Every structure is written in structure tokens, then in C-alpha cells.
Structure 1
Amino acid sequence: MPKILGGSLTEHRERTRDALFGALAQLLRERGFDAISLADIAAQAGIGRTAVYNHFPDKESVLLGYIEHETSAYVAALERSLAGITDPVDQLREYVRHQLALERTYHLPPGPDLREVVSPDAAKRLRGHVRQVETVLRRILSGAIDAGAIPAQHLDAVVQLVHACLSGRSVPTTDPERGEFVAATELFVLRAVGARADGAVHAVAEPVTDVA
């Protein structure tokens, strides 16, 4: 009979999942997802391969569970940080800082993009987790527009552009380099959406709707 981790089956299940997620995160730092097998994840976690099937049917399910776990924890921490901030531009600053502080293990594995090596259904679910974070940014930008802190703009495009700017950045780990990098990125994003550090608003060109 498999050894029970913790004092109950519920705790055992949680600890097993945490071990598998930790193992996957470590393996993603070392190689691409396409080069990882379920047996590799089980071995890294110190869990028998057959026991893994009690929790996940395949490695895609481990990946999706891991990303759901990490995304939910990240969004909860971000919301707690934003809760005490009323100024929408300051909220955007905090959002940028959180994004730069995030360890993007599952966004930066070696090899092909994750969406290229998983099934179409898994790729769709991966995109769904990204939307959880995008929803927070969209809310901040909408609030800034309503408050007159930034000009009205195409939020679908702007949300993607801001995330493209923040995703996968190699942030220095020590100061003063880290502080300078964060400050420069913060200023870049604020200017890109039409805000300024001094509270003034930059003019943003109107989108072209008719070229005839």
C-alpha cells in the first residue's frame, strides 16, 4: 500500500500534487515540455509512476494543474496588493512590478512554445489561464480611462501589447540594476498607455478606421 503523506487522504493528495508540480517546475527549467515524460515527473517527485495516475492521467494534465495552481495563487496575491491602492495609475505601476517579480517557469522552458507541443484543447485552456491575469489589467486600464488618467484606447490590443512587453523579461536580480530596470519598464508602460509619472496625460493617436 502506498505511503500516506500527511495526516489524512486529503492532505496526502495535496502534498502529492505539490510534489508533482514542484518536479514539473524543476524539469521545465532544465528542458522543454516536449522532452519531459510522465515517468520523468514521477521520478523527480519521488512518487511511483502508477501512483501518479491516481491524480493525473497524463503529463498535459499535470501541466494544466500546475499552471492553474500558479495562476490562481498569483492573481490572489496581485488582488491583495491592489486592494489598498485607489489611484489607477498607481495600480498600473503595481501591476507592472508584480509581473516583473513573477517567476515565469512555465512561460520560458527551453524548446518550442508550450501551445505548439500540447493538444488543441490544452492550448485553449492555457490561454484561459492567461486571460485571468489579463482581466486584472483590463480592469485597471478601464478604471484609468474612466478617471481621465489615460486616453480612451483599444483595450484588446493594449492589454496584449503590455503583456508582450512584460512577458519573459530577464530582470536583474540585484540592486541597483534591478531597481533601475523596474523603474524604466514602469515608465515605458505608463507612457505607452498615455499616462505620465507626474500625473499628466500624453496624447494618444486616434486609431485609423478608414484608409479610403
Structure 2
Amino acid sequence: MPKISAPTIAAHRAQTRERILAAVAELARTQGIDEISMTDVAAGAGITRTALYNYFPDKAALLLAFAEQGTAGFVERYRAALLGGASPAERLSSFVRFQLEALAEHPHPAAAELGASLGPDAYQKLADHVEPMQRLLVEVLQNGVEEGAFDPVPAEPTARLVLAMISAQRVPIQQGQTALDEAHRLVTSFTLRALGAAEEAGGGERAARGRA
């Protein structure tokens, strides 16, 4: 059983929690979200089942924390990395890029899969947690319309459609069927055409990669 060394009890708990969520990620990849058991997670994290319950009282709480980990900090990362003075097309491209990178780096299951495992109450908590990402995309779309770069569109339903296209790339990216750059190009090009916007060669890539 792996040991966790930390200078304080709080640090030890934080390390253990990270180990637990890493175990969930590995199990989600290898056996699917519905097949994950608390016993398997405890074994993967190198702790006892009793200790696991000290962190998460049930599977729903565990999966909710797992999903939240994948979305934490997205809005801050996006705003921090986006180049100043970026065009609406570049802002949209950056949003798509960051979302796809999250799928590649943190292979979390789709919301529908989590919904089946979480139950309605926990699933609503998950929906509330990811809502800021949708609000950010709505803001990107609204700004594009106001600046005359995008055709007038209903921002909220359009944002849902864009997020659905991004989510559809999850399995192809994680299974190596589609490269991240290819998925980014596909979703961004399709969306910009639908919005009546001209693509800006290289602009989206610059904005998405503009990390100081």
C-alpha cells in the first residue's frame, strides 16, 4: 500500500483526496463509470474502504467530486490565457481549444453517463457546477454578435449546441481516433461558418496558445 508523506494533516488529506480522484480517473478509463465500486477506488488509491468513506460518503459524492475536478478553474484559465484584443473568432476558437484540451488531459465521462450514476439530485449539483462554462460561452457569442462578427443568434441555445459538438469529440480524442488539433479545427470551423463568421487563419491557435 503506497504511503503518503505530508508535513501536515491537511496536506496529507489533500494528497489522499488527489490519489482517490486519480484512482477514479483510471477506473473510468478501464472499466467504465457505472462499474466503479468504492472497493475498487479504495484499492486503487492505496487506502482502506473505511478510510475512503471518511472522504466521500457514497459513490454519488465521489463521482460529483470527480466531475467537478475536471471543470475547476476553466473560466479563470480561459480569461488569463486569452490574448488581449482578441477577435470574437479567436475568443471562440480559444474556448473550443481549452474544452478539448480538458477532454484530452482529464478523461472524464460524459454528463449523460454521470447522470445515470449520480441520480437526479447529484446530477443537478453537477449541472450547477458546469453552468459557468456555458455562461462564458454565451458571453463570447453575445459579444461576437454585438461587435458584428457573428450573425444574430439566440446565444443560450447556440451555446448548448456548441458544447454538444465539443462533447461529441470526447470518445474519438480519448481513443486516439481524432487528434486534438483536428477536432479543434472541425468544431471551430463548423461553428464559425454557422455563425456567418470568416475564419482567421492561425488566429484561434494563437489565442488558445497565448499563455504567459
Residue in 1 that maps onto 2:9: 9
Q: Judging changes above 3 Å, is the alpha-carbon distance between structure 1 residues 62 and 149 closer, same or farther for their aligned structure 2 residues?
A: same
Structure 1 match to 2:190: 188
User: What SS does the aligned partner of 2:55 have?
Assistant: coil
Measured in 1, the distance between the counterparts of 2:55 and 2:71 equals 19
Aligned-residue CA RMSD in angstroms? 2.6
Query: For 1:191 and 1:150, how far apart are their aligned partners in 2?
Result: 9
Q: Quick check: which one's helix share is greater?
A: 2
| 1:167 match: secondary structure | helix
| Identical positions, percent | 33
Q: Bigger shift: 148-157 or 71-80?
A: 71-80
Cα pair 2:20 2:41 within 8 Å, conserved: yes
Q: Aligned AA for 1:56?
A: F
Structure 2: how far apart are the matches of 1:178 and 1:69? 21
Summarize the alignment of residues 1-212 of structure 1 with structure 2, pairs less than 5 Å apart: 5-82=5-82, 84-103=84-103, 105-108=107-110, 113-169=113-169, 170-171=172-173, 179-197=181-199
CA distance in 2, matches of 1:31, 1:4: 26
Deviation of the 1:89 alpha carbon:
1.7
CA distance in 1, matches of 2:188, 2:55: 41
Q: Please say if residues 85 and 91 of structure 1, whose CA atoms lie closer than 8 Å, have aligned partners that are also in contact.
A: no
**What is the TM-score of this pair, normalised by structure 1?**
0.81
The CA deviation string for residues 152-194 of structure 1, in whole angstroms up to 9 with x for no partner, is: 21112101111111113124999x9654443233211111222
Counterparts of 1:69 and 1:5, CA distance in 2: 22
User: Whose relative contact order is higher, 1 or 2, with alpha carbons under 8 Å and at least 6 apart?
Assistant: 2
Structure 1 counterpart of 2:7, which letter?
Answer: G
TM-score w.r.t. length of structure 2? 0.81
Give unpaired runs (5+ residues) of structure 2.
Answer: 202-212
Larger Rg: 1
Gap change, CA 1:120 and 1:94, over 3 Å in 2: same
Count residues with an aligned counterpart: 194
Per-residue CA distance 1:113-159 (angstroms, 9 max, x = gap)? 22122221111112123312111111111111111111221112101
> Which amino acid is 1:186 matched to?
T
Aligned 8 A contact 1:19 1:45 in 2:
yes
The residue type equivalent to 1:146 in the other structure is E
Q: Distance in 1 between matches of 2:196 and 2:109?
A: 28
